[in-house]
Amino acid sequence: MKNRKRIVNIIIFTLLALGSVLMLYPFIWMVFTSFKPKLHVYIGGLLPQVWTTESYTQIWSEIDLLRGFLNTALYSIPPVIAGSLVSVAAAYAFAKIRFKGRNGLFLFLLGSIMIPFPSIMVPQYVLFSGQFSFFKLNLLQTPWPLILPKLTGNVMMIFFLRQFLFGIPDSLVEAAKIDGCSHFRIYWKIILPLTIPALSAHGVLWFIAAWNDYLAPTLFIKNPAWQPVTVMIAKFNEQYAINNHVPRIMAGSVMLIVPVLIIYGLFQRWIIESMMFSAVKE
C-alpha cells in the first residue's frame, strides 16, 4: 500500500515536471534564440552554436529603451502606490466607519467593474484629447492618461481589503477613537500597517498588470517619447517580423519579461498566497 502510494507520487511528480517543461519551454527558447545570429535560429538545436549579443545592442541602439522603461515605471509604480493608499482609505471607510448609504455606495462602486474597458475607451480617448467644450486640455501628448485613472484607486482592491478589514475587530478602531485618534491617524497608524501584507501582494499584481498593459497606451499615448516599453518593443518586433529577424524579436520579448520576472521572483510567495487567500474569500 505504502509502496503503491510512493509509485503514484513518483508518476505524478514526473507528469508535473514534464508539464513544467511545457510551461517554461517558450521562455527558454526565447532566451537562447535571442543570443543566436539571425541565420542560426533554426539550426543546431536549442542552444546557440555561436553566441552573440548583436540583437541586444541593436535594440538598445535603435530604440530608447531606457526611456521606455522609465516611462513604464512612471505608469506602474507611483500611480499604483498612490492608488493603493486611496484604496486602503476607501476600504477602511467601507468596513469600519458608519455613514448613511455605505453599502449602497459600495455596490454602486463594485458595479462599475462590470463595464469592460473596450466599451469606454473611445469616450476616454475623447476626454483625454480635450475635444469637449467643457474640458479642452489635450492630454494625449502627456503621460497623464495612464496615470490619472489609477490615482483614484482600484475597485477590486477596495473589495478585497474591505473583506480583509471585516476580519479585524471593531474594538481596535474604537479603542483608538477613545484615545482621541482621528480617522486619518487610525488609517495611517493602524489600518495601513495591518493591511500591508495583503496590500503589497495585490499591489504587485496591479503593478504587473500596469507594466504589461498594451491597449490603453497604444490608444492614449500619442507622443512617442512617452510610450511605455511594451509599445516600443511591440513596434520594434513588428518591424523585424517583416524581414523575420527572429533573434531581435526575441531579444525584445526578453527585455519585456525579465523585469516582471525579477519582481515575481521576489514576491512569488506573497502573490500565490494572496491569490489563494482572496480566492477563498470570493
| Cell numbers describing residue 204 | 504587485
Residues contacting another protein: total by CB under 8 A: 92
The one segment of 59-67, 164-172, 193-201, 274-282 that binds another protein by CB under 8 A: 274-282
Among 33, 84, 195, 227, binds another protein (CB under 8 A): 33
Among 56, 92, 220, 226, binds another protein (CB under 8 A): 92
- 172: amino acid identity, one letter: L
Does 104 bind another protein (CB under 8 A)? Our answer is no
The one segment of 53-61, 163-171, 194-202, 231-239 that binds another protein by CB under 8 A: 231-239
Among 37, 48, 149, 197, binds another protein (CB under 8 A): 149
Instruction: Tell me 89's DSSP state.
Output: H
Cα angle for residues 77, 143, 149 (degrees, 5° grid): 65
CA distance 74 to 115: 26
Least separation in angstroms between CB 80 and another protein = 14
The owner of cell 499584481 is 205
Output 30 or 74, the one with its CB closest to another protein: 30
Q: Locate the DSSP E strands across 63-217.
A: none
Least separation in angstroms between CB 181 and another protein = 11
Does 61 bind another protein (CB under 8 A)? Our answer is no
Give the burial string for 32-49 (b: 16+ CB within 10 Å, else e).
Answer: bbbbbeeebbeeeeeebe
Q: Hey, which residues between 165 and 184 contact another protein (CB under 8 A)?
A: 182-184
CA distance 202 to 277: 11
